[in-house]
Amino acid sequence: MLQWFEDITRGDVARVGGKNASLGEMIRHLAGEGIRVPGGFAISADAFRHFLAHNALEPLMREQLARLQAGAPLAEVGLAIRTAIGGGALPDDLAAAIREAYGTLSERSGLAAAPVAVRSSATAEDLPEASFAGQQETFLNVMGADPLLEAVRKCFASLYTDRAITYRVHHGFPHLKVALSVGVQRMVRSDIGAAGVAFTLDTETGFRNLVVIDGAWGLGENIVKGTITPDEWRVFKPLLGDATCAPILDRTIGPKHLKMVLDAHGTPTNVETTADEQTRAVLDDAQVLALARWCARIEQHYDMPMDIEWALDGETHEMFIVQARPETVRAREQASTLTTFTLVGTGAVLVHGVAVGQRIASGRVFRLESMAEAARFEDGGILVARMTDPDWVPLMKRAAAIVTDAGGRTSHAAIVSRELGIAAIVGAGNAMQELVDGTTVTVSCAEGPVGSVYAGAVPWRETKVDLSAIRETRTQIMLNVADPETAMRWWRLPTRGVGLARIEFVIEHMVKAHPMALLHPEQVDAADRAQIAALTAGYADPAEYFVDRMAAGVAVIAASQWPHPVIVRFSDFKTNEYAGLLGGRTFEPTEENPMLGFRGASRYYSDRYREGFGLECRAIRRVREQIGLRNVVVMIPFCRTLDEADLVLAELATHGLVRGLRELEVYVMAEIPSNVILAREFGARFDGFSIGSNDLTQLTLGVDRDNALLTALFDERNPAVMRSIEHLIREAHAVGCKVGICGQAPSDHPEFAEFLVRAGIDSISLNPDSVVPVLTRVAALEATL
């Protein structure tokens, strides 16, 4: 009736449940590789059935479940079964076996009475199609044989909590066919350390090359419940085996205002964290990388994406894996099918928070303080709550979308919403205050990492694309990407790289401050200086803040298309746009025509911006050399003359970015007639051109592209523009230089894309919504050539 974990494999789910089977599997096969899993033993499902038979409980359970099927209240049926189980006595032979095993476990720990975690493990949990996470009880820091026996009985009873009954009904599992095993595991003192969860894919997009780690001080319950916003790291799996890399793409330090500890009686209790704990990461980079390697190895062993729980012992400072189960939502999605949701209208934004699910839904608001108000919720409503826990699941199943004030991407509300396939916004902060009962709203999680609640029923559309029917093309089809947080949404598209990643978006949205203001905060006014200090809190140097944020944005984009090339264009703000950044007014001149002014390459070697360009170069070097994403290609915008090209290349070299060194390629935008006329000369200096069709059209035709009076004249299909492109491709190829295009024209005009293919262009970079139709047309055309 009892088995030690080292004698259990994942094939033993029917005997010891999914949780215990997984622990045994890891101890048997992975402990030898240094992956630490706390030892212990499992009380089998046969022991549970022995307990039921000893107390003659099955007839009562059948009677109560029949009442439930006939319409009796769930709460009444669940309570009756739990009371009967809780009042039962453990058979003498079972109790004696548990006492003996506990004694052995204590001896192995070198203690008279070892503290243990007592965890429920159902025989139908942790399956690839249903996680059953959080449905049964866990008891922590249990010490002594008698308290252990009591905890075992409580675990048995928890098989019939209201939420567990509802979950089995939802997934079609017959109640009496599901038994309960109990795991007794050496306690990891994460209550005085840290704990968290990790997924071996991106939980929002299904992108497979990530390990996403969340962590907080104390026990991990606050992360699961969504009580706090945890720290988060995203680590790039393909480079974890390279000892020369530290592939942490980005890190976010959550406020972590609470931590769950054990009080004097061993009861989990929340206490406020200190100011230092709120601003300090719970793991250092070395611990993050070690944990990510463990997670990747566990995924490799199981041959499927995994949902993993980890704990850091505050006494020994050792890391442990305390649970691993198959990820049950994104892993089931077909990589050959892409479903997108798009707003086609707009409205007033009422609240926003972390987007979960990439979906859109409209409905009436039902703002609930607790489950005591559940009776007034209507199917298809928008559930608004401070936070959710497993007791809320029956209600969440009936909702069109969920909005919570608390929680992060691995909170209970987020996890369950993904499993149910509905939109959710978590961590909104003020939804309970701002959203009014009975009003109609639209919840959109399809616009990037920030989800928004709009007033009214905003129109939206759902699009499904079968990617398996699309043929690969000779012409390289690439993506235009601005927002790093949306880059991973498109990993299923059959593209081969990013043709344009705009640094301006990263600076504007992730950095927010002018680079020169971060280098010289003493030169800006007091108000801007105070904002810069708040923005860069936690960084020893404001300039390091810029490098860290920019590197994180570029790294995420580069990882999304690895190992294909990702062309990162250095900043190309106009002076009026730079002036709009925090502290920017101090450093930017006023120009009559910024479009033709101090922009692009001319800034990089100028004393007005040379130091700022140095920060951009530092960020690129961090991505390529420290993180290890060598697929990053850099590109120079608006390079007017050959002399200017030489000056910029020399400036790059002073910052350690030498063309050809460490496989670095340097491209130049082809957006000025001089780039076309002198294509051979520019081509001898660079590895590739990327045609900016908007500026090239503007400067070839002398048309202000932003002037509404001249809209009819602005057309990339003008013969002068098209002949320039043909000339550029021919001359560039003559000197072995590649040519792509990153402008809007191929997305807007199908015939323009066909012209480019006939002209022999090497690559076409498109906005995501244009990839499938353009790729289909290109494939059809290439078949005729």
Cβ atoms within 10 Å of 264's Cβ, excluding its own: 6
Q: Residues near 719 by Cβ (< 8 Å), separated by ≥ 6? A: none
Catalytic residue, from 295, 639, 737, 742: name it.
742
Would you call 301 a catalytic residue per the annotation?
no
In the block, which residue shows the tokens 């086609």? 344
Cβ atoms within 10 Å of 2's Cβ, excluding its own: 19
Asked if residues 615 and 627 have their Cβ atoms less than 8 Å apart, the reply is: no
**DSSP-derived 3-state class of residue 435:** coil
CA separation for the pair 30, 23 (Å, rounded):
10
DSSP assigned state of 130: B
CA separation for the pair 147, 113 (Å, rounded):
11
For residue 174, whether the previous peptide bond is cis, meaning omega lies within 30 degrees of 0, is: no
CA separation for the pair 618, 547 (Å, rounded):
6
Adjacency order of strands within the sheet including 306-312:
248-252, 231-236, 210-217, 194-199, 306-312, 319-326
- DSSP per residue, 656-711: T--TTGGG--EEEEE-SHHHHHTHHHHHHH-SEEEE-HHHHHHHHHT--TT-GGGG
Check residue 527 and give left, alpha or beta (phi > 0: left; psi -120 to 50: alpha).
Answer: alpha
Q: Are strands 210-217 and 231-236 parallel, antiparallel or unpaired?
A: antiparallel
Q: Residues near 231 by Cβ (< 8 Å), separated by ≥ 6? A: 196, 214, 215, 216, 251, 252, 253, 254, 256, 281, 282, 283
Which pair of structure tokens corresponds to residue 179? 């038994």
Distances (CA, A) of 505 to 324, 456, 636: 37, 30, 16
Asked if residues 251 and 281 have their Cβ atoms less than 8 Å apart, the reply is: yes
Would you call 617 a catalytic residue per the annotation?
no
CA separation for the pair 329, 356 (Å, rounded):
12
Asked if residues 565 and 585 have their Cβ atoms less than 8 Å apart, the reply is: no
Asked if residues 184 and 322 have their Cβ atoms less than 8 Å apart, the reply is: no
Distance of CA 163 to the CA centre of its chain: 27
DSSP assigned state of 740: E
Burial 58-95 (b: 16+ CB within 10 A, else e): eebbeebbeebeeeeeeeebbebbbebbeebebbeebb
**Maximum distance among all alpha carbons in the chain?**
94
Catalytic residue, from 295, 412, 514, 639: name it.
412
Measured between alpha carbons, how far apart are the two ends of the chain, in Å?
Answer: 71
Q: Are strands 688-691 and 666-670 parallel, antiparallel or unpaired?
A: parallel
Active site residues: 412, 742
